Chain A
């Protein structure tokens, strides 16, 4: 019986069957580097695992090598599902023990796809193949503690009177130890003069390599309606200044934005009228029944980098529906040559937009030299006529009489 089986099997060995499925996986970045770490320190980085394939994948993510025991992942699940044609971030966290020596360490992060059929999965013995990616991890532990962070972004929105103004701040810890940024916000008025109102903030701890976003609320009690600037500084001498407005209660829903101020032409001659267009959008929730462009026109002096007001203009009022964009128009006629700055704001529903401007180049009027040329021509003709006439003796021309000896003309 055994002999019979052997014969049967030998005849099958030469047959190779291939059953194909397509699956794909990619990992970015392909190498993870943690440098400038310290003993007992922490760092994290994000891996993006992706597939453009047409089947869902179940993955296992694990660490290997010398750093294996220092690594953890978020999410922590032993199996992670990656839907077809998608990408998923995985946070790699490193906690360096206090007891290790300074030096360079290497390890790997192994991302494997798991077979999802039943164990065996086939009536026939064989081997099946699953894709994976191995990412190298390089880690340097040194003795120097580095304190540093970076202001990634700061933003602020308008507020209504008696409601706090909110500064949204995003900071990245670029050092290798925990930092608590010390922030200072000073409120400046519309002319950028200090109002004396300020706030100090040092409540947010940030782990190394981590970017944290938080909000600082600052009371507006006692602040008049109007435009302000928030000047944010920190203990590492970063500085950012942001514009915001304190509005009357109930007006926050009225929001208009001046997109740009443009001219129909920017190269003109004196006394040539230009059309000023302001693109204004109603971004609020309320119909704006009156929006008007107001401009101030300055002539610029590049020598002293100064400007002098030479005129103001005002356009007609227009209504702007919610979500609508309208062009508001005014006109200006430059009195003389020079470079002008036309600075416009749109006044609407008791509010005013931020200023936008455009530059007008007024060229010198080209001078008409025709009359000068005619006069010069006439004078030349008269001189030639005079010199070519006979002298009083009736034989010698005046030119020869005057210049003959000197030019040796016989």
Chain B
């Protein structure tokens, strides 16, 4: 039983990556593991490292929180026996890393003679987190005279919303379509109305594009979708700003405080990235 002993480069087995469910504005962990085999014994494997990258990005190049991570929290070799040793790698991934496309984990192993082996995981579909952080604002319009026919407020970025998820989002508003509840309740079925509209442009008469004329009998309408807010790190990074124009009217018989709640929803953008 004689044969020549020589160095053989290690081979990396199936790369398995797991990740936490992304939460709103919270960085999360990704782990990639693989079993490494070296004919010269598990102790001949001296190091392993890993890359976690967006499948559409190029291998190599600088690390980028948006699409490429190199050994963010390091790799360790554990549980060696016979010819195999496990390589466990962890990454701390930013919450805004692109969740709209697949990612790949790559593990490279090196032996004592600098022989290399590497393998990639299957495509990993990240969990989309659709989220917004709203600087919640109350728009106050002071006191209105009974029977006031309405006027337009011109307000830019009336609610400051940040995209704190991992995909681009659009906004949708609901809740202000009709009557404002007033306290005390008005007599004679009197109504306080709110109506609003979003239009591109911050000043001037852009609201005219909404085609709205406020009257005391008119119901309000929701703002149309397609008002996009990109996730952090997305290209282009700019937000499509729109100005919301507000109109308020009161019926005769209104005498009190009228406040309405408007829900600002994050919805799927088209495209998400």
CB contact under 8 A between A30 and B264, given known A50-B23, A127-B194: no
Nearest residue (CB) in B for A15 is B142
Q: Check B145–A132 contact: CB distance below 8 A.
A: no
Q: Check B145–A341 contact: CB distance below 8 A.
A: no
Nearest-neighbour CB distance to chain A for B143, whole angstroms, equals: 5
Taken together as a complex, chains A and B put the C-alpha atoms of A256 and B258 apart, in Å, by 72
User: Counting CB contacts under 8 A, is B213 at the interface?
Assistant: no
Residues of A with C-beta under 8 A to B39: 302, 339, 359
Q: Check B2–A6 contact: CB distance below 8 A.
A: no
Taken together as a complex, chains A and B put the C-alpha atoms of A125 and B139 apart, in Å, by 8
CB contact under 8 A between A6 and B145, given known A266-B40, A337-B2, A341-B82: yes
Residues of A with C-beta under 8 A to B266: 131-134
Q: Check A28–B23 contact: CB distance below 8 A.
A: yes
- Count how many pairs of residues, one from A and one from B, have CB atoms less than 8 Å apart in the complex: 278
Residues of B with C-beta under 8 A to A339: 3, 5, 39-40
Q: Check B133–A24 contact: CB distance below 8 A.
A: yes
Residues of B with C-beta under 8 A to A28: 21-23, 127-130
User: Counting CB contacts under 8 A, is B198 at the interface?
Assistant: no
Nearest-neighbour CB distance to chain A for B30, whole angstroms, equals: 15
Q: 0/1 per residue, A15-43, Cβ < 8 Å to B?
A: 11111111111111111000000000000
User: Counting CB contacts under 8 A, is B80 at the interface?
Assistant: yes
Nearest-neighbour CB distance to chain A for B116, whole angstroms, equals: 18
User: Counting CB contacts under 8 A, is B10 at the interface?
Assistant: no
Residues of A with C-beta under 8 A to B24: 24-26, 50-53
CB contact under 8 A between A125 and B138, given known A119-B181, A260-B80, A266-B40: no
Q: Check B140–A22 contact: CB distance below 8 A.
A: no
CB contact under 8 A between A16 and B140, given known A26-B131, A110-B265, A133-B266: yes
User: Counting CB contacts under 8 A, is B259 at the interface?
Assistant: yes
- For window 125-150 of chain B, which residues contact chain A by CB distance below 8 Å? 127-146, 148
Taken together as a complex, chains A and B put the C-alpha atoms of A12 and B130 apart, in Å, by 39
CB contact under 8 A between A126 and B259, given known A16-B153, A24-B25, A28-B22: yes
CB contact under 8 A between A132 and B151, given known A17-B140, A361-B40: no
Nearest residue (CB) in A for B136 is A21
Pick out which of these stretches binds chain A: B51-59, B159-167, B204-212, B235-243: B159-167
Taken together as a complex, chains A and B put the C-alpha atoms of A339 and B3 apart, in Å, by 9
Nearest residue (CB) in B for A299 is B1
Most chain B Cβ neighbours within 10 Å, of A120, A123, A134: A134
Residues of B with C-beta under 8 A to A128: 136-139, 259-262
Taken together as a complex, chains A and B put the C-alpha atoms of A336 and B172 apart, in Å, by 77
User: Counting CB contacts under 8 A, is B70 at the interface?
Assistant: no
Residues of A with C-beta under 8 A to B182: 125
Q: Check B164–A125 contact: CB distance below 8 A.
A: no
User: Counting CB contacts under 8 A, is A362 at the interface?
Assistant: yes
User: Counting CB contacts under 8 A, is B26 at the interface?
Assistant: yes
Nearest residue (CB) in A for B259 is A120
Q: Check B141–A125 contact: CB distance below 8 A.
A: yes
Nearest residue (CB) in A for B155 is A16
User: Counting CB contacts under 8 A, is A9 at the interface?
Assistant: yes
Residues of A with C-beta under 8 A to B159: 129
Question: Residues of A within 8 Å of B, CB-based: how many?
Answer: 78
Nearest-neighbour CB distance to chain A for B113, whole angstroms, equals: 9
Residues of B with C-beta under 8 A to A26: 22-25, 129-132, 164-165
Residues of A with C-beta under 8 A to B155: 16
User: Counting CB contacts under 8 A, is B79 at the interface?
Assistant: yes
User: Counting CB contacts under 8 A, is A122 at the interface?
Assistant: yes
Q: Check A338–B1 contact: CB distance below 8 A.
A: yes
Pick from A22, A87, A124, A133: contact of B136, CB below 8 A: A22
User: Counting CB contacts under 8 A, is A206 at the interface?
Assistant: no
Q: Check A359–B40 contact: CB distance below 8 A.
A: yes
User: Counting CB contacts under 8 A, is A143 at the interface?
Assistant: no
- For window 250-289 of chain A, which residues contact chain B by CB distance below 8 Å? 259-263, 266-267
Residues of A with C-beta under 8 A to B22: 26, 28
Nearest-neighbour CB distance to chain B for A83, whole angstroms, equals: 13
Nearest-neighbour CB distance to chain A for B82, whole angstroms, equals: 5
Residues of B with C-beta under 8 A to A130: 134, 136, 261-264
Residues of B with C-beta under 8 A to A18: 137-140, 158
Most chain B Cβ neighbours within 10 Å, of A110, A122, A358, A359: A359
Nearest-neighbour CB distance to chain A for B80, whole angstroms, equals: 5
Residues of A with C-beta under 8 A to B83: 359
Residues of A with C-beta under 8 A to B26: 50, 52
Taken together as a complex, chains A and B put the C-alpha atoms of A259 and B164 apart, in Å, by 43
Nearest residue (CB) in A for B137 is A18
Taken together as a complex, chains A and B put the C-alpha atoms of A337 and B6 apart, in Å, by 11
Residues of B with C-beta under 8 A to A27: 129-131
Residues of B with C-beta under 8 A to A120: 181, 183, 257, 259
Nearest-neighbour CB distance to chain A for B15, whole angstroms, equals: 19
User: Counting CB contacts under 8 A, is B180 at the interface?
Assistant: yes
Most chain B Cβ neighbours within 10 Å, of A12, A130, A338: A130
Taken together as a complex, chains A and B put the C-alpha atoms of A19 and B180 apart, in Å, by 19
Nearest-neighbour CB distance to chain A for B240, whole angstroms, equals: 19
Taken together as a complex, chains A and B put the C-alpha atoms of A308 and B134 apart, in Å, by 71
Q: Check A136–B143 contact: CB distance below 8 A.
A: no
Residues of chain A having any CB pair with chain B under 8 Å: 2, 5-6, 8-9, 12-13, 15-31, 48, 50-53, 87, 110, 112-113, 115, 119-136, 259-263, 266-267, 299, 301-303, 308, 336-339, 341, 356-364
Q: Kindly list the 5 A-B residue pairs having the minimum CB-CB distance in the complex, ordered from nearest.
A: A26-B24, A359-B41, A26-B131, A12-B142, A30-B128
A-B contact pairs, 11 of them (CB 8 A): A13-B153, A17-B138, A23-B133, A26-B130, A26-B165, A28-B127, A52-B25, A128-B259, A129-B262, A130-B134, A359-B41
Residues of chain B having any CB pair with chain A under 8 Å: 1-5, 21-26, 39-44, 79-83, 99, 112, 127-146, 148, 151, 153, 155, 158-159, 161, 164-165, 167, 172, 176, 180-183, 192, 194, 246, 248, 257-268, 272
Given contacts A21-B137, A52-B25, A308-B1, 9 further A-B contacts (CB under 8 A): A6-B145, A26-B129, A120-B181, A127-B194, A127-B260, A129-B262, A266-B43, A266-B112, A267-B112
